[in-house]
A and B are shown apart, each in its own frame.
Chain A
């Protein structure tokens, strides 16, 4: 069984929001659109987005880590948002595990959003139906596109390629390899939702330098007589003792 998902590499995400607006842009004009905006030019502008990038500070100065954290629907393998939907508008596709909303069935009761612990669903104020990340289902199977383009819009956009896309049930897929090799983890595992999307943690590279690596035979100071041998006339033990 296929379970498509995104894997987001927090080790390289710089919080640029490219995935946010490219998602909006694709989806507002695509099958999931329009994604309305209210007060676009006024106070407190707000609108429907499928993907948001947040920022967290971890630790205290000077040992602070700033973590940029993109979040969209995680396409849970046990999605609590689906069974609660009274209309069947929310569903999980058998063939690829994508969780979708059928806008024509949705009554806008918002119940599914209550059932999502991740805050991944947004009611479109204009259309009054529930929306969320579609994993760009209208791109990834669109045979009229080049194969390279058959990827979610956010994945294509991401300048740091922090967003990987693939089948987490295929152990050889890029996403499975990344999860396995880079310590991929799921959000809020305590709820048993088994999110398909995973996150890769920060990793650190350090350099270890040994004291004796600094001074070596090829030290250029020697050429310029700066690390000379001591002068013959300088005092030694020979001057003060005998054995």
Chain B
């Protein structure tokens, strides 16, 4: 490269949009030359990523021009078997006509025979609305198999969560405890914050069976046995309470710790808060009608009574003789047995380390208090001169969530965070709009099967937040209404559905058969299904009458995935660089701690081939099916296309609430609410595709109880009520279910077979139990826990078509602690069998010192089915790569028959509960057949390329340009 050639950059045009190489949604600048993407970098003016970008984001070019892209609608060839990958090209008109006819019939007869499940997408507001308008209850996105425990466990406790709803304030924290996180959705921002935090001298502790990625730079790594964090957290709570390191003032004012609970075991009210009066109005907030036992007057008073200060510990008797205890007393009693020594046995963490962790948290929280000169007013009208905070921040993700005891573990963590006084305070956990929400949030599903009616929208939301047994979506006999059995007694708080059971249930016809299954952006025949081998058979399985058990399967995907092979109809989606998208306040926006932020994607390159954005597909289908939201009263088309829909749709006529919060009102002068603005897209485009509303400082903290903020939020229709959202140290919601299971009260009662289950797990205080799979496993037979981790340079299954990223992760190994491996005679690189009760895989082992000896792990979703993603059938992904999902069952044997392998409260898929054993593949038997090189097992018939896909080249000298 002679110096003379180093002239101006090879770029002609720069457009901004939002990345979608993962769900983080960073702002990007796409540099184009001759209309081709040349370079993608982070947008420095974007609030989320501030100019940085990740490995995936930088490889967007290779996604855009990937030969695995589907470029034309395809239908299964007449006569070809499903799953054989034999397709013919069709026109969109035929696709629409087929769909409109089929779905029209279903809608006119039994709408629930249409099921729509969507994967790692970011348009649940639209897909959910489509399903509701259609009238089917059978809709969910990926949350159930992803991290619903994290959402539900925290939202049912503090009214907000990590994940996309809130996070650690690392700007001001002094101690950061990260639990079970490898990468997470807040990918770039978390990295930015973490390095800043470390450089500012913060102390970073990672609790994880594995030390990679973020954990690598932790000041301390605390290796833990998978599934046992509940024990650790409860022991830390034990120690925090025993040493008095909790923030009493915070608990008293902002949680239900001091509220009195009826402790009369014979009463129907046992375990419920004592109330001053029955609220007259049925509203979605918690009335301030509970009692404290006041220290000064030594009697029960209404909470927050000026001048009153409650006892948190002790036992009291109401004047009517009812024994009562403050919630905190019950917590204190609960954790009495949970000593560090006890937890040490379970977690494998030495007791003195547990104690030290507790002390570090407690002392940092107590002694390094932050005081900001920000005046604010609390919900009870008390004015504060300062906002204070205790600088201990937590972050946790699927290491906690993806276990069947995850909900209670996450409750324990939320309570620990609350004991330390760190909720929506500087240096602790901070909410992001539209959170906090009431506990639970107000959305409810219908609670009656009659909500599903032909030719009518569903009477309620497809997904919601039950607050008591009467909110369950069950038939009169208590059986589930939904195909995935969400909101049933089996998984009452399954607020994100149970996508991981949809196929198995539909195949079995339990609770009923469906007709059409539409899968959008989910690879349910591979990495996002449990028990992939069997599920693939189910997708192809025919009933006695020769009809497929799932009669019609539609897949909208952008790539040649394993899932598309099973489709009867494939709808080719665009890439993120080719379409409009919204990251809406109605969904999971990219809000910051300091206020709401939403964002959009705009096309920067023309649509490839005959692709069509799924958004457009939904609008077109909705219009053809005459779903009320998409047509006028007369039945005429209401929206030209998706951009038109986004601009003009309002939740109700004149509500001023739409998908986008920015530049509303005729001229774009309004924010959050306002009439549709025809130039809204232009204004987003001009502003880096993002709208950021910064709240006044006084509204940025303590939002659960911040009068100003809550009223602001009410004015802007983010919430309906401006009532305070007290932290649920003690969960009355759970107690309601437990009481019903005990036969108490007036609400619905669980079916006999599930009573014990509901009673056990719906404990209003967190407790530790062995994950369900461990309960039905002989741990001596299967001594190891097997988990996966996200690689930072790969997004689930969809990047193995990416020529650059797949060079970084082209196949995977099972990482085993070197000592554990050597006990089995397994050397580094050896071929091994990994067996669970449910299946076995053959793969290669790698020794590691960075994994807890009772755990084995691998990167998630690197293994591929041969031929898929338009890779050659001998590509490493299928020959040396493997999928852990083959070892994980979607169901467990239960006393009452098969039950989902999920958290019994939320239905969260228990990916990380699987127990395995490993053994060396005997020498000489490593090859699949004589003379063949060693390959992983199981293997599947190689998938062929489909029509209308680009040839894959054997050499890429992509984008090379000769400079003059």
Contacts and interface: CB of A to CB of B under 8 A. Distances in A.
Interface of A: 9, 11-18, 20-22, 24-26, 28-47, 49, 55, 57, 59-62, 64-68, 93, 100-104, 126-127, 134, 137-139, 141-142, 144-145, 148-149, 153, 156-162, 202, 204-207, 209, 213-215, 219-227
B55 A18 contact: yes
A43 B876 contact: yes
A227 B211 contact: no
A31 to B, nearest CB: 5
Nearest to A41: B952
B513 interface: no
A41 B853 contact: no
A139 B199 CA distance: 28
A139 B11 CA distance: 12
B219 A41 contact: no
A16 B817 CA distance: 23
B607 interface: no
A44 to B, nearest CB: 6
Interface in B1-46: 1-3, 5-10, 33, 38-42, 44
Nearest to A33: B960
Contacts of B807: 37, 45-47, 49
A207 B360 contact: yes
Given A12-B217, A28-B958, A213 B198 contact: no
Contacts of B875: 41-43, 45
B67 interface: yes
A224 B191 contact: no
B884 interface: no
A141 B6 contact: yes
B805 A21 contact: yes
Contact of B54 (A16, A42, A60): A16
8 contacts: A11-B217, A29-B33, A33-B961, A40-B953, A42-B871, A61-B852, A68-B216, A214-B244
Given A28-B960, A156-B51, A21 B213 contact: no
A202 B871 contact: no
Nearest to B187: A159
B204 A45 contact: no
A93 B2 CA distance: 11
Contact of B223 (A62, A139, A214, A227): A62
B6 A31 contact: yes
Interface in B179-223: 187-188, 191-192, 194-195, 198-199, 201-204, 211-217, 219, 221, 223
Interface in B782-831: 792-793, 801, 803-808, 810, 817-819
Given A17-B792, A31-B1, A220-B246, A157 B41 contact: yes
A11 B55 CA distance: 19
B694 to A, nearest CB: 23
Contacts of A64: 211, 221, 849-850
Interface stretch (B265-273, B308-316, B524-532, B909-917): B308-316
B542 interface: no
Given A45-B806, A224-B312, A160 B9 contact: no
Contact of A39 (B359, B850, B954): B954
A31 B954 contact: no
Contacts of B188: 159
Interface of B: 1-3, 5-10, 33, 38-42, 44, 49, 51-59, 61, 67-68, 175, 187-188, 191-192, 194-195, 198-199, 201-204, 211-217, 219, 221, 223, 243-248, 295, 309, 311-314, 356, 359-360, 362-364, 367, 792-793, 801, 803-808, 810, 817-819, 848-853, 870-872, 874-876, 879, 952-961, 963
Given A17-B793, A30-B10, A157-B41, 16 more contacts: A18-B55, A21-B808, A34-B959, A38-B954, A43-B872, A45-B876, A61-B818, A66-B212, A138-B6, A148-B51, A156-B51, A205-B219, A221-B313, A224-B312, A224-B313, A224-B314
B953 A61 contact: no
Contact of A44 (B44, B195, B810): B810
A42 B954 contact: yes
A202 B217 contact: yes
Given A66-B212, A224-B311, A16 B3 contact: no
Nearest 9 Cβ contacts at the A-B interface: A34-B960, A220-B248, A160-B195, A159-B191, A40-B803, A12-B195, A17-B55, A219-B244, A224-B313
Given A15-B213, A34-B957, A20 B55 contact: yes
B204 A138 contact: no
Nearest to B312: A224
A16 B56 CA distance: 9
A16 B959 CA distance: 24
A28 B214 CA distance: 29
Of the candidates B6, B223, B853, B876, the one having the most CB atoms from chain A within 10 angstroms of its own CB is B6
Contacts of B367: 213
Nearest to B68: A41
Given A29-B38, A42-B954, A126-B955, A205 B202 contact: yes
B801 A41 contact: yes
B40 A14 contact: no
A14 B188 CA distance: 11
Contacts of B41: 22, 149, 153, 156-157
A125 B210 CA distance: 37
B314 A225 contact: yes
A145 B6 CA distance: 13
A158 B33 CA distance: 24
A205 B42 CA distance: 31
A20 B67 CA distance: 22
A24 B806 CA distance: 14
Nearest to B817: A61
Contacts of B954: 38-42
A59 B223 CA distance: 15
Nearest to A103: B1
Contact of A61 (B363, B793, B819): B819
Contact of A36 (B1, B3, B851, B955): B955
Nearest to B215: A66
A147 to B, nearest CB: 11
A224 to B, nearest CB: 4
A64 B792 CA distance: 21
A89 B201 CA distance: 46
Contacts of A14: 191, 194, 213-214, 216-217, 792
A221 B201 contact: no
Residue among A36, A45, A225 facing the most chain B CB atoms (10 A cut-off): A45
B198 A61 contact: no
Contact of B793 (A16, A35, A39, A205): A16
Nearest to B808: A17
B825 to A, nearest CB: 19
A218 B810 CA distance: 57
A4 to B, nearest CB: 14
Contacts of B192: 159-161
Contacts of B214: 14
Contacts of B960: 28-29, 33-36
Contacts of B61: 25
A218 to B, nearest CB: 8
Contacts of A224: 248, 311-314
B8 A144 contact: yes
Contact of A104 (B2, B223, B804): B2
B692 to A, nearest CB: 20
Contact of B221 (A62, A93, A103, A149): A62
Contacts of B792: 14-17
B313 A225 contact: yes
Given A21-B55, A224-B314, A41 B359 contact: no
B244 A226 contact: yes
Given A204-B219, A207-B175, A223-B248, A12 B958 contact: no
A156 B363 CA distance: 38
A30 B39 CA distance: 9
A57 B850 contact: yes
A214 B1 contact: no
A61 B191 contact: no
